[in-house]
């Protein structure tokens, strides 16, 4: 009698770079945080179980959301969720710094810019986590110039990208020479303006937030890419641990098929010589 062969279950297919995401963190399950934000509002963030949390005004209605939680050190967590059935596809991202009882919050949403509706808009708010004794820290996370002129080669599996932090307001994107040649061979007309030019470099607006020593947030919008024929750009929000050289983050926007995306991922990094990239001129869009 012939043996019946059983097909093995297919591995789950992740979207984009989320296949490089480290294991999710469930340490916050059943914990609750009172967030006192500098916007003047107070919220409660309660982790119900490994998949759902409740969030809303401290004295108001709380709604439940699915979430991802990642971490970059023993006390710093990256929490990402999406508003369900929201026409703007609004995404909330929290950096919970339990060591200092501080929080950085990023709201990202689409369809704000009428000319480029698929370009995300982000709003960052700083705040504190109320301590058990009811006190609130006076210090805050904040924007920093620490990253200027540094460059990191981030490795997402087989994908290598070089982020050159060229100023407080912009970053420059580069690739390893072998990867550039491969891209040229596969696509002689790459979409990013000036990306492979001899004397110019591709840049995008970005911001850098210091969480604590060696821990930083990188917040970048693909505004320059969105101005071109592509007509859309993503927002990348990373939490970087430069003491251990890895990051976790999320990509929010639209994929190549124009479908909304919001997924988390991670990468390992190493410092890179940025002198050649910094010597190039800016793109035609940035002065």
pLDDT in tens, 66-124: 999 999 999 999 999 988 656 778 999 999 999 999 999 999 998 888 888 889 999 99
User: Hey, what are 73's tokens?
Assistant: 């050190």
**Backbone dihedral region of 278: left (phi > 0), alpha (psi from -120 to 50 degrees) or beta?**
alpha
Q: Span 143-279: which CATH code?
A: 2.40.128.20
Go through 86-104 and write b for each residue having 16 or more CB atoms within 10 A of its CB, e for each that does not: eeebbbbbbbbbbebbbbb
- Residue 160 pLDDT class (50, 70, 90 cuts): very high
How much of the chain, in percent, has pLDDT values that exceed 90?
63
Instruction: Tell whether pTM > 0.85.
Output: yes
**Residue 49 contacts by C-beta under 8 Å, 6 or more apart in sequence?**
29, 30
Rounded to the nearest 5 degrees, what angle is found at the Cα of 82, between the Cα atoms of 80 and 84?
A: 155
Residue 277 has pLDDT above 80, yes or no: yes
* The predicted structure's pLDDT at residue 233: 87
Q: What are phi and psi of 219, to 5 degrees?
A: -120, 115
- What pLDDT, on a 0 to 100 scale, did the predictor assign at position 2? 55
Domain 25-129 has CATH 2.60.200.20: no
Which H/E stretch holds residue 165?
Answer: strand 159-165
Confidence band of 200 (pLDDT split at 50, 70, 90): low
Instruction: Report whether 238 contacts 247 (CB < 8 A).
Output: yes
DSSP single-letter state for residue 201: -
186: pLDDT strictly greater than 80: no
Q: In angstroms, rounded to a whole number, what is the distance separating the alpha carbons of residues 64 and 44?
A: 12
pLDDT of residue 193: 45
Burial of 161 (0-12, 13-18, 19+ CB in 10 A): middle
The residue extents of the domains of the chain are 25-129, 143-279
Return the CA Rg of the chain. Answer: 20
Q: Higher model confidence: residue 143 or residue 85?
A: 143
CA distances (Å), origin 191, targets 31, 110, 184, 261: 45, 22, 11, 20
Q: Which of 133-142, 196-205, 267-276 is predicted least confidently?
A: 196-205
Strand-pair partners of 220: 206, 236
- Average pLDDT of the chain is 88
The DSSP symbol for 275 reads H
C-beta of residue 59 within 8 angstroms of C-beta of residue 18: no
């Amino acid at each position: 009698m012939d043996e019946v062969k059983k097909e093995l279950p297919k591995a789950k297919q992740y979207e984009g770079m989320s296949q490089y995401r480290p294991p999710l963190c469930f340490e916050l399950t059943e914990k609750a945080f009172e967030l006192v934000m500098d916007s003047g509002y107070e919220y409660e963030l309660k982790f119900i179980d490994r998949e759902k949390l409740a969030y809303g005004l401290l004295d108001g209605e709380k709604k439940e959301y699915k979430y991802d939680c990642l971490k970059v050190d023993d006390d710093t967590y990256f929490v990402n969720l999406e508003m369900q059935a929201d026409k703007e596809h609004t995404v909330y991202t929290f950096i919970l710094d339990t060591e200092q009882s501080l929080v950085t919050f990023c709201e990202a949403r689409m369809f704000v810019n009428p000319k480029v509706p698929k370009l995300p808009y982000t709003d960052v708010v700083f705040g504190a986590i109320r301590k058990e004794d009811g006190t609130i820290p006076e210090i805050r996370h904040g924007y920093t110039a620490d990253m200027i002129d540094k460059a990191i080669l981030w490795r997402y599996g087989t994908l290598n990208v070089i982020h050159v932090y060229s100023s407080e307001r912009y970053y420059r994107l580069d690739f390893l020479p072998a990867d550039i040649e491969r891209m040229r061979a596969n696509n002689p007309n790459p979409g990013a303006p000036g990306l492979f030019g001899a004397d110019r470099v591709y840049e995008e607006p970005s911001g850098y937030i210091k969480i604590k020593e060696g821990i930083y947030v990188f917040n970048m919008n693909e505004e320059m890419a969105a101005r071109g024929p592509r007509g859309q750009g993503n927002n990348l929000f990373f939490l970087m641990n430069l003491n251990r050289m890895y990051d976790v983050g999320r990509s929010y926007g639209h994929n190549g098929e124009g479908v909304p995306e919001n997924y988390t991922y991670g990468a390992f990094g190493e410092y890179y010589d940025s002198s050649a990239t910094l010597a190039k001129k800016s793109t035609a869009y940035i002065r």
